[in-house]
Structure 1
């Protein structure tokens, strides 16, 4: 959840009052519902800027600097790979670079209309370009290359340069597909039949394309398909590329002026901060569906990065999560429906990619993805309804060194605002802690890795389970005094050893919980160097309620930043996030993936600290942190993970590809060979056995699906080096004697001797 909204009801009413009093400013007499009605666009422009300026936590001044930022974002959004506009177009557009602020204030659509009409013209011209390019075979023996770093590339000076750019882009895409077809052909020639690997052999999507299929030697029989010539394969690949581009331009043709105006509007809203966005009517509908917690498809959240679609998160319990092959950071290159021809989605709008991936329950979608290490593989997923149950808290028990520990996983800080008796994360965590206490646990690991946040009130409830009464988080709204949210219940549900696990994707409410536990020194924070760094609160506001004239049509909604929250020590979690007490290397350690890496993010700042008392019952607190740091520093396992992370970072900067078939294949093979060095990371086992609480054992005996889900989770925990180290920290926090009889004699299980 991007918005922490329950605390905002009072402030939302204030904003409502301001806007309703001013609604006459926007009361145009619009009778038409035409999608291309410029009067509606002017109304939307005025309404959005007014609401943001009055309701945003720290609204930016709409001046020449603001104008330059909008210009840059908007042009990049229209043509991210620089394959439509010419330099002459940019020269013409640049005249408006410092005038957009004035046009916004005057409700002037001149700049938008110019860019929209020019883009439509250039797209029509581009259709002829790609069709002509794909009419003749490519010569893959020529020694040439193509750089995909579009941000640094100049715009084409003329149509000849633009055609050459299209040629190389298409040639690279075609070459990638052709390489796959040749490999399949070679395997057929050798009598190799590809079979899926077992679940034990495919771990977390870590394998390369060479490793992902399980190959067995079988004699080639007359029933086998006749092998095709290189010319036939090349022609098939070109035809496939043309089909993909035809579909892409078909999607573009389906977009209307309103769709492109939404791009313009969001280039404006994004200059206030990255989390202030406009939702067009269709997008608002999708947002409402996502907030309901019931998703249909593969169970993955996507984000756009330049010309590419990236997996930002897997929904726990969803088909992609169950399949264990797709992971955050993967880039989707192509999408196929079942056995159908894959469609290239590079350069395609995010909404269009989502439409291709979504589908009815039980249908198959095949994703061609580029892994974070540069390898490419095809992943088959059967679509399903993503059950909301898997967004709820769950816990497991593990016995280690004669002691019993509980692991609680919290995927979201969820709450039902409409039903006070409904489930929420605070009540569910309290229930799990009580259940764990009843089975005699000696320590708790609370896992909020990949937890993007949610309800702020549940953070207060959860933190309150582990401390005496006291402040948990400070809230600041524009022009108002700070407010402090307290845990006022002096009852402590768990006063024993506590570890909070975080990573780069722990955001918002997760960071507030980790910060509070850290400031009180109540538990040890272990994980990535720092958390995501989102320290702001957003409200979603339906814009239709502010206009009396219903003939305007649906205006959509605005999500805007209204508050910032702060740790009880006074520091903001914005940008800096929460630094772990114990830092563990991970695959994403060197990639830019946090709020601090997002342009125009709000700054870090500090306010006065709240009054609180540090927990004084952790006599082994500093010792546990020191011991853990020493273990990690000397572990060959973590050294290999860190080396892999550095390699992945170096690969992310490699944007130049050879368009020569032999050189391209050699480069891909080299990548795959290097990736094999890190294969042991996916094969790690910690030799610990995790099992369900008694109440859940009864449930799993009756529910086969739930049983399978828990078995998969427990299997994942038994292969998780990070959970193992969190449990080691619990050992070090103990004040009672520890039996070493259950300590595994295996050392450095990940690295080959």
Structure 2
């Protein structure tokens, strides 16, 4: 059934009248107002509004079912069959402001949670036999729902056996290594302790699951609705929006990592530059945190823990320590101790160095830009474009022969600043096209004829360079002004979002507020050549080996990501410096990479990670499990310490910056850490050779 605007607005009118006439509304009446206000907001503001029809209903059904039981641990096939009849009916329920499907999921999940709670308490009361030849598939996508309760119990028996075996095998290993807490313990004692630990973990998990209120579950349902539009459109209930805003406060206290919930697990999405985790160089994006311990205390298993509770475990006062147990992308497990601190935000600011080039007397400027930051609240606040302009000026005064702009892991930011910054390298002209839903594309221009830097330029990117980073890389690539170097593609986020306060879209009716906010996609970016950065990202001119080369990452991996599209190109040209000879430059780089032993190991590691990513079926026999873990550990050890060698000893600060570090011990320490990282960076080392090739080939062309 297609969504009809006339029906929608009449429904809203009825709901508004109900809210006015009956101050004490039921939960469902309030939820109906929230739902219709949300639908109205999506229809009015989203870049690509959707018909609320049977196809839309299918998508919500699949997303929501995956959200509440993606691991297929709670519902049986018979129970899912009860929900299946609503697969094409959710659109009608949205139009009629009904919650029949949602209410049934809550009823079934409440019963399923009580049932599963009985399963794990019963199963964990008896020792496991780890001599059998069983195995367990942990990926819900590779399993069907259990046909009945008996089959579901059998899965839980295997699932709990795996969780216990994982801890039991680890305990045996620690006993063999002579660790004090495990020395002298019998196998029976270690197995009993492992089961007890699993019991504690599941007690905590189920305690949180059972305590989830209707508002939490409704938020999850509404996010299944918004996610059908695109992966960056989300509903935030009031408390969630407050937590989101914490990210933009002027100071962070903790470890300096951003997290999200992925199924039952907590995943690291970003390491905050300059924070304690960043300094430690052990915690990485895509790590899964499984346990959290305070110094001197037993670790807490956080599997299934809601994100707010995880954050409260990890945050803490300055100078205290937290120990994280993490599972790496390759499947290995590691304990990481991090001393909490105030995250100094100046580490996110642009900074530059001088590095000796690959020829005698050659000097290369290096600018690191971790984000496209901008302080719009303070008239005197810092903007990345202004800061980069200052760094360019300092490097030019130092007489550099070329400049490297490093945008790796830069997730984007200020559109105004990226347009201004791109203009530093050309005379004037278009930088990016921005298109709203019902309007012609707007061409954002560099209107300043000044060229802040007219020499050889290399821009470094990787899979996590997104949004504004992609705009700059794409513009300079289209102009032929810079050589783009990096992994096989940038992230591919070519959309812009804004927050809509739902309370502002609904006048009066204070008895149903606060409704929360929706973050939705309102525009798309397009390159000046007409192609979108959405989904495809920017393909570098020169691609270097990367450990994630064979693992699909970025926007294209998101469910219901907006498609790549194309609009008309705009006229553009520049006469500053054209990065010609790309074929020769690329050929030289490929030849060097092929001979480099470390790059060879990176390529081999990428293949290993791809293979491990697919391993989701685990043996439940102790010896088989130990053999698997030993093989994985030995394999991982081959790729340890790939970036420990100092290969760029010449990396140094500009003379003009030295007084800043001399006057501030904390800045001095952070700067030393920055220099150390650059000195061991194999990718910068290769880019120095690429820069030398650019300089040499341009000089030869001029002489000819």
1:527-546 matches, within 5 Å, as 527-546=486-505
Is the 2:319–2:341 contact (alpha carbons within 8 Å) kept by the matching residues of 1? Answer: yes
Is the 1:701–1:707 contact (alpha carbons within 8 Å) kept by the matching residues of 2? Answer: yes
Matched, 1:569 2:526: no
Matched, 1:632 2:593: yes
Counterpart for residue 249 of structure 2 = 292
1:101-250 matches, within 5 Å, as 101-188=91-178, 227-250=184-207
1:610-625 matches, within 5 Å, as 610-615=570-575, 617-618=577-578, 621-622=581-582, 623-625=584-586
Counterpart for residue 695 of structure 2 = 734
Q: Take 1:392 and 1:562, find their aligned partners in 2: how far apart are those partners?
A: 28
Counterpart for residue 411 of structure 2 = 452
Matched, 1:558 2:515: no
Matched, 1:705 2:666: yes
**Unaligned regions of 5+ residues in structure 1, if any?**
1-18, 194-223, 739-753
Q: Secondary structure at the match of 1:465?
A: helix
Say if 1:99 and 1:494 are closer, same or farther in 2 by CA, change over 3 A: same
Say if 1:32 and 1:333 are closer, same or farther in 2 by CA, change over 3 A: farther
Moved more, 599-608 or 290-299: 290-299
Moved more, 305-314 or 670-679: 305-314
Say if 1:615 and 1:61 are closer, same or farther in 2 by CA, change over 3 A: farther
Is the 1:620–1:734 contact (alpha carbons within 8 Å) kept by the matching residues of 2? Answer: no
1:153-552 matches, within 5 Å, as 153-188=143-178, 227-400=184-357, 401=359, 402-547=361-506, 548-552=508-512
Say if 1:33 and 1:358 are closer, same or farther in 2 by CA, change over 3 A: farther
1:79-118 matches, within 5 Å, as 79-118=69-108
Counterpart for residue 45 of structure 2 = 55
**Unaligned regions of 5+ residues in structure 2, if any?**
1-8, 700-704
Q: Take 2:210 and 2:617, find their aligned partners in 1: how far apart are those partners?
A: 31
Counterpart for residue 607 of structure 1 = 567
Moved more, 485-494 or 157-166: 157-166
Q: Take 2:130 and 2:300, find their aligned partners in 1: how far apart are those partners?
A: 22
Is the 1:240–1:341 contact (alpha carbons within 8 Å) kept by the matching residues of 2? Answer: no
Counterpart for residue 643 of structure 1 = 604
Q: Take 2:397 and 2:684, find their aligned partners in 1: how far apart are those partners?
A: 22
What's the offset of the Cα at 1:364? 2.6
Moved more, 148-157 or 647-656: 148-157
Report Cα offsets for 1:214-268 as digits up to 9, x if no partner.
xxxxxxxxxx985211111111111111111111112123321100000000000
Instruction: Detail structure 1 runs of 4+ shifted over 4 Å in the superposition.
Output: 22-28, 30-36, 735-738
Moved more, 105-114 or 134-143: 134-143
Of 610, 614, 622, which residue of structure 2 is paired with 1:661?
A: 622
What's the offset of the Cα at 1:504? 0.4
Higher relative contact order (CA 8 A, sep 6+): 1
What's the offset of the Cα at 1:27? 6.0
Say if 1:616 and 1:629 are closer, same or farther in 2 by CA, change over 3 A: farther
Q: How many residues align?
A: 685
Of 57, 61, 65, which residue of structure 2 is paired with 1:71?
A: 61
What's the offset of the Cα at 1:689? 2.5
Is the 1:503–1:527 contact (alpha carbons within 8 Å) kept by the matching residues of 2? Answer: yes
Moved more, 172-181 or 488-497: 172-181
Q: Take 1:660 and 1:140, find their aligned partners in 2: how far apart are those partners?
A: 5
What's the offset of the Cα at 1:28? 4.5
Report Cα offsets for 1:387-443 as digits up to 9, x if no partner.
221222122221223222121111111112223331111111111111212222221
What's the offset of the Cα at 1:619? 6.2
What's the offset of the Cα at 1:635? 3.0
Report Cα offsets for 1:22-52 as digits up to 9, x if no partner.
9997465269999972111111100111110
What's the offset of the Cα at 1:477? 0.7
Counterpart for residue 201 of structure 1 = none
Q: Secondary structure at the match of 1:665?
A: helix
Q: Take 2:232 and 2:312, find their aligned partners in 1: how far apart are those partners?
A: 23
What's the offset of the Cα at 1:630? 2.9
Say if 1:691 and 1:293 are closer, same or farther in 2 by CA, change over 3 A: same
Is the 2:648–2:681 contact (alpha carbons within 8 Å) kept by the matching residues of 1? Answer: no
Q: CA RMSD in A?
A: 2.2
Of 650, 653, 657, which residue of structure 2 is paired with 1:696?
A: 657
Is the 2:253–2:317 contact (alpha carbons within 8 Å) kept by the matching residues of 1? Answer: yes
Counterpart for residue 548 of structure 2 = 588
* TM-score in terms of structure 1 length: 0.87
Q: Take 1:33 and 1:41, find their aligned partners in 2: how far apart are those partners?
A: 14
Is the 1:522–1:615 contact (alpha carbons within 8 Å) kept by the matching residues of 2? Answer: no
Say if 1:708 and 1:35 are closer, same or farther in 2 by CA, change over 3 A: farther
Q: Take 1:357 and 1:164, find their aligned partners in 2: how far apart are those partners?
A: 35
Q: Take 1:419 and 1:459, find their aligned partners in 2: how far apart are those partners?
A: 19
What's the offset of the Cα at 1:666? 1.0
Is the 1:26–1:46 contact (alpha carbons within 8 Å) kept by the matching residues of 2? Answer: no
Report Cα offsets for 1:120-179 as digits up to 9, x if no partner.
121122111111111111111222111111112111122221122112112211211222
Moved more, 712-721 or 676-685: 676-685
Q: Take 2:321 and 2:565, find their aligned partners in 1: how far apart are those partners?
A: 48
Is the 1:392–1:410 contact (alpha carbons within 8 Å) kept by the matching residues of 2? Answer: yes
What's the offset of the Cα at 1:356? 2.8
Is the 1:533–1:575 contact (alpha carbons within 8 Å) kept by the matching residues of 2? Answer: yes
Say if 1:468 and 1:451 are closer, same or farther in 2 by CA, change over 3 A: same
Moved more, 630-639 or 275-284: 630-639
